[in-house]
């Protein structure tokens, strides 16, 4: 068995050793929360680190090029594609969804708007469809869903893990006139230089990618976790809400674009500055999320820093030191990616273990707290001793 190791890229800096951060990640490995992780950090557009820690599987080291599942951390790619349509005046955020998908109006859902979908206030969190269903079958099933009892769209909140994201993706697909994944590839991934990101992976892709293609694992379990949307033949279906995969550095590149107020690395305009401002402003504030059972604020498709509500256990947060302006999205029990405009930070961290919601929340809180301290951005980082966030048991 190859021993766990730290594999830094050329971007790792001796001036920023990230000793606290690495200590937290390694502690999580010792506790069985994960066997490996990727971390990408840049500040003001300059890469600080792009490193890999530990093993991908017992005999394969994690590298910065390993392709890991992003799960819900990939949701903002759909938001960006939708925003391109918004800029082209092909839709408005306050349009009824049924203006773009007429069949969605079934069972009195004509009152639900695109804004409701992006703020998780639509009220159709669940729909019964088989993992083997075709795209059209899934869209039909969700369109036929009913609003939950005692739910007034826009006035009650609850995270929609999958349903609304298929509908948003269907809007993207219909307007661009091509499959959702192709639209995101052409409109977002290519301009941003994100060549290894994909939503579907065929058997042929798996053969080509080989050991670069990684899976997530359950706690204390080295066996890959099987997701419901992974098909029986070993391929991967296109799931807008959770199917994106890629290296952490390319997820970080997406947030670097947002910090540049919508420009690509080459200086071309992908999103207008006012579009970026609109996506990351507080559109849902102070509302209890009936899925997470916590108060969580939202932009348009982005989770905003909700630490103002006084709990270290706010799900998918950004640690104890992130600024109030921080926005991003996490992936289920495994990842966090965000931009902190106050400090010019773009961060993506992906663990290959899914240890449960509580353990993951503690892990992210400790990891990101330590990261800010390593970067001297905490405002209270101790120079001679690790912080309570770094030193605390995270499992």
Q: Where residue 254 sits, what CATH number does that domain have? A: 3.40.710.10
- How many residues are there in the chain? 395
Average pLDDT, the chain: 89
Mean pLDDT of 19-48: 96
- In a domain, residue 365? The reply is no
pLDDT reading at 167 higher than 50: yes
- Provide the whole-model pTM: 0.91
Total domain count, the chain? 1
At residue 27, the pLDDT reads 97
- In a domain, residue 282? The reply is yes
Question: Would you call 132 exposed, middle or buried from its count of C-beta atoms within 10 A (0-12, 13-18, 19+)?
Answer: exposed
- Cα–Cα distance measured from residue 143 to residue 345, given in angstroms and rounded to the nearest whole number: 39
Question: How confident is residue 235, by pLDDT bands cut at 50, 70 and 90?
Answer: low
As given in the structure block, the two tokens for residue 152 are 């007034």
In which domain, by residue range, is 344 found? 69-77+184-352
- In a domain, residue 192? The reply is yes
- In a domain, residue 195? The reply is yes
- In a domain, residue 170? The reply is no
Render the burial of 50-81: b for 16+ CB within 10 Å, e for the rest: bbbbbbbbeebbbbbbbbbbbbbbbbbbbbbb
Question: How confident is residue 7, by pLDDT bands cut at 50, 70 and 90?
Answer: very low
- In a domain, residue 333? The reply is yes
- In a domain, residue 42? The reply is no
- DSSP H or E run through 192: helix 190-192
Helices (H), 66-179: 75-87, 114-118, 135-143, 163-176
At residue 230, the pLDDT reads 56
- Cα–Cα distance measured from residue 235 to residue 231, given in angstroms and rounded to the nearest whole number: 5
Question: What angle, 0 to 180 degrees and rounded to 10, lies between the N-to-C axes of helices 75-87 and 248-259?
Answer: 30
- Cα–Cα distance measured from residue 173 to residue 179, given in angstroms and rounded to the nearest whole number: 5
The share of the chain scoring above pLDDT 70, in percent, equals 87
Render the burial of 303-317: b for 16+ CB within 10 Å, e for the rest: bbbbbeeeeeebbbb
- In a domain, residue 119? The reply is no
Give 129-148 pLDDT, tens digit per residue: 886 789 999 999 999 999 99
Between 241 and 15, whose confidence is greater? 241
- Residue 188 DSSP code: I
Mean pLDDT of 260-274: 98
Three-class SS state of 199:
coil
């Amino acid at each position: 068995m190859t021993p766990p190791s730290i594999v830094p890229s050329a971007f790792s800096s001796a001036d920023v050793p990230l000793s606290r951060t690495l200590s937290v990640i390694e502690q999580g490995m010792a506790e069985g929360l994960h066997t490996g992780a990727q971390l990408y950090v840049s500040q003001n557009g300059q890469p600080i680190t792009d490193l890999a820690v530990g093993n991908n599987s017992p005999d394969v080291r994690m590298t910065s090029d390993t392709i890991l599942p992003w799960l819900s951390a990939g949701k903002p790619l759909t938001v960006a594609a939708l925003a391109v349509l918004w800029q082209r005046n092909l839709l408005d955020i306050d349009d009824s969804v049924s203006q773009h998908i007429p069949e969605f109006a079934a069972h009195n859902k004509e009152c639900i708007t695109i804004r409701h979908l992006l703020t998780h206030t639509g009220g159709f969190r669940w729909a019964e469809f088989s993992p083997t269903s075709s795209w059209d079958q899934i869209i039909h099933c969700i369109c036929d869903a009913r609003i939950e009892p005692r739910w007034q769209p826009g006035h009650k909140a609850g995270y929609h893990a999958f349903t609304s994201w298929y509908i948003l993706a269907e809007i993207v697909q219909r307007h661009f006139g091509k499959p959702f994944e192709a639209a995101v590839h052409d409109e977002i991934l290519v301009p941003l230089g994100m060549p290894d990101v994909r939503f579907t992976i065929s058997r042929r892709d798996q053969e080509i990618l080989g050991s670069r293609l990684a899976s997530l694992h359950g706690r204390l379990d080295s066996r890959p976790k099987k997701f419901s949307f992974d098909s029986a033949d070993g391929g991967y279906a296109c799931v807008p809400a959770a199917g994106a995969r890629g290296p952490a550095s390319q997820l970080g590149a997406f947030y670097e674009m947002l910090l540049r107020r919508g420009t690509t690395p080459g200086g071309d305009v992908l999103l207008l500055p006012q579009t970026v401002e609109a996506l990351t402003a507080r559109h849902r504030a102070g509302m209890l999320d009936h899925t997470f059972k916590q108060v969580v604020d939202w932009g348009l498709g982005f989770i905003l820093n909700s630490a103002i509500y006084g709990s270290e256990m706010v799900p998918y947060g950004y640690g104890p030191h992130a600024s109030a302006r921080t926005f991003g999205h996490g992936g289920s029990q495994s990842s966090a990616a965000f931009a902190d405009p106050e400090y010019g930070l773009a961060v993506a961290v992906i663990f290959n273990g899914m240890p449960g919601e509580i353990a993951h929340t503690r892990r992210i809180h400790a990891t990101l707290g330590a990261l800010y301290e390593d970067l001297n951005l905490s405002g209270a980082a101790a120079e001679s001793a690790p912080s309570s966030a770094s030193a605390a048991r995270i499992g």
